[in-house]
């Protein structure tokens, strides 16, 4: 009898990685974990997922960064001069405001002045 190197449950699935084309193991335990959290099963092997993660971390341009930690940029508020940070790259040709001034300018634009007395 051959002893298997790893404990494998019959519920383990092999998934074909969409990046490198290798089959990787989606174990029963992982399936449960994903299911509990309502995640879709992974389509990439761990190697490829790690690779993509580290690419993201190194500051590549990516429009789909909703789940990633946002990079913050330090700016000086154009209105009150306080130092603040914003979650986007500041455009040097436009003024950047701190959150307070930003909200204030939005309120002004919304024209809710007469409602508030
Ligand atoms: Zn892969
Ligand atoms: Zn300000």
- Sequence ranges of the domains in the chain: 13-57, 73-110
**106 alpha carbon – ligand 2 mean position (Å):** 13
Calculate the average pLDDT of the chain.
83
pLDDT tens digits, one per residue of 13-49: 999 999 999 999 999 999 999 999 999 999 999 999 9
Distance (Å, rounded) from C-alpha 19 to C-alpha 50? 12
Task: Please give the backbone phi and psi of residue 81, each rounded to the nearest 5 degrees, phi first.
Answer: 80, 5
Ligand nearest to the CA of 97: 2
pLDDT tops 70 at residue 99: yes
Q: What is the mean pLDDT of residues 76-83?
A: 93
Closest CA to 20 of 56, 47, 42: 47
**7 alpha carbon – ligand 2 mean position (Å):** 59
Give the pLDDT of residue 86: 83
Task: Please give the backbone phi and psi of residue 41, each rounded to the nearest 5 degrees, phi first.
Answer: -55, 145
Element (H, E) at 54: helix 46-57
Give the pLDDT of residue 81: 95
**108 alpha carbon – ligand 2 mean position (Å):** 14
**63 alpha carbon – ligand 1 mean position (Å):** 22
What's the maximum distance between 2 C-alpha atoms anywhere in the chain?
Answer: 85
pLDDT tens digits, one per residue of 42-68: 999 999 999 988 887 765 554 554 556
Task: Please give the backbone phi and psi of residue 61, each rounded to the nearest 5 degrees, phi first.
Answer: -70, 130
Q: What is the mean pLDDT of residues 80-90?
A: 89
């Amino acid at each position: 009898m051959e002893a298997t190197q790893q404990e494998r449950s019959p519920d383990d699935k092999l998934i074909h990685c969409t990046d490198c084309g290798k089959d990787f193991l989606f174990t029963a335990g992982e399936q449960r974990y994903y299911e509990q959290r309502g995640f879709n099963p992974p389509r990439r092997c761990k190697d490829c997922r790690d690779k993509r993660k580290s690419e993201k971390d190194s500051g590549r341009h990516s429009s789909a960064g909703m789940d990633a930690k946002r990079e913050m940029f330090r700016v000086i508020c154009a209105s009150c001069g306080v130092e603040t940070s914003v979650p986007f790259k500041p455009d040097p040709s436009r003024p950047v405001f701190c959150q307070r001034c930003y909200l204030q300018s939005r309120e002004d634009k919304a024209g809710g002045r007469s409602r508030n007395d």
